[in-house]
Amino acid sequence: MQISSGGATHVGMLRTNNEDSYRIVHPLNLFVLADGMGGEAHGEVASALAVETVVKQCTEGEENPAAPLPGEAKPGLTPKSRRLLNAVHVANQKVFQSAEEHPEQQGMGATLTAAWIDGAQLSIAHVGDSRVYLLRAGLLEQLTSDHSLVAEQVRRGLLTATEAEQSNLQSVLLRALGTQSEVEVDVEQVGLFPGDTLVLCSDGLTRMVPEFEVAGALQAEPDPQRAAEKLVDLANESGGVDNVTVIVISIRLESKGWLSWLRRGTQKSAGENGSAGGQ
């Protein structure tokens, strides 16, 4: 299958600094997004450190596949899922240790959502309320569960989804990266099909743009880079009360004709791009 992607980030209409970070690593088909917490406590430091640690761990793992993976092996996980899970745990430790060593960083943390595609297999590792969506056959499905107070109240039947969207407690997280020495990480494995579109996003999108508008924008714009930029624009047009970051990934059947070789030759040889908070 042919995988194409694009990403965009923006400080929003009210904030003065961007605490979101993301990276797209084309050679690995690895996509990582984090939303920093802490404001003056260096949330942008937490998100950038988390993203770069996950990328580093996964890249080194690909270069040395025989390297042992610490921690208990969870049954049913593919090798890439296990490595991604381990990378997020290492990122948690890095952020926590940095806050411990630098008093001015006390209280910082981050959400983190990472997607790793291996053939037709998608591995997701997730902490916090940044999300992964799958658009398939016109239907948008949230693949991750928010680790937030209002989401837990919805799951327990204490709030409706509408009440949760209007709650002033939406920003209260039950799980985040770097706030404790250990963190529980959700791991999902999903089979992919040609025609699928994936979205990784911070809550700066999901609080501003309803899911039906996200689905409509993705269907109207097949180019992943332009789709990511359009979703960021929609969030800002709706108020842009938070930083907003979006990665869009398109899964298509790879053409076997001579034109595909021509297109392949025009792709960036560096094979890696991304952006961090403030850019």
User: In this predicted model, what pLDDT tens digit does every residue of 177-207 receive, in sequence order?
Assistant: 999 999 999 999 999 999 999 999 999 999 9
C-alpha of 107 from chain center:
22
Taking the C-alpha atoms of residue 179 and residue 176, their distance in angstroms, rounded to an integer, is 6
29 or 75, greater pLDDT: 29
pLDDT band at 266 (very low <50, low <70, confident <90, very high): very low
Taking the C-alpha atoms of residue 250 and residue 147, their distance in angstroms, rounded to an integer, is 26
Residue-averaged pLDDT of the chain? 89
Burial class (CB in 10 A: 0-12, 13-18, 19+), 190: middle
Taking the C-alpha atoms of residue 106 and residue 179, their distance in angstroms, rounded to an integer, is 9
The CATH number fitting domain 2-275, selected from 3.60.40.10, 3.20.20.140, 3.90.550.10, 3.40.640.10: 3.60.40.10
14 or 161, greater pLDDT: 14
Q: Where are the alpha helices (DSSP H) in 131-257?
A: 149-155, 161-166, 203-206, 211-220, 224-237
162 or 43, greater pLDDT: 43
Please answer whether residues 194 and 1 qualify as being in contact, where contact means their C-beta atoms are separated by less than 8 angstroms: yes
C-alpha of 128 from chain center:
10
Give the tens place of pLDDT for each residue, 57-111.
999 999 998 887 876 677 899 999 999 999 999 999 999 999 999 999 999 999 9
Half-sphere exposure at residue 95, Cβ-oriented, CA atoms within 13 angstroms: 38
pLDDT band at 268 (very low <50, low <70, confident <90, very high): very low
Taking the C-alpha atoms of residue 230 and residue 50, their distance in angstroms, rounded to an integer, is 26
Give the tens place of pLDDT for each residue, 216-225.
999 999 999 9
CB atoms within 10 A of CB 41: 18
Region 28-56 average pLDDT: 94
Residue 263, pLDDT above cutoff 70: no
Burial class (CB in 10 A: 0-12, 13-18, 19+), 74: exposed
Give the tens place of pLDDT for each residue, 7-26.
999 999 999 999 999 999 99
Helix or strand run (H / E) with residue 22: strand 20-25
259 or 114, greater pLDDT: 114
* Beta partners for residue 109, in sequence order: 37
Helix or strand or coil: residue 45?
Answer: helix
Q: Which of 54-58, 99-103, 262-266 has the lowest mean pLDDT?
A: 262-266
Instruction: Please give the single-letter amino acid code of residue 40.
Output: E
Helix or strand or coil: residue 235?
Answer: helix
Directed axis angle between helix 211-220 and helix 224-237, to 10°?
140
pLDDT band at 262 (very low <50, low <70, confident <90, very high): low
pLDDT (0 to 100) of residue 167: 76
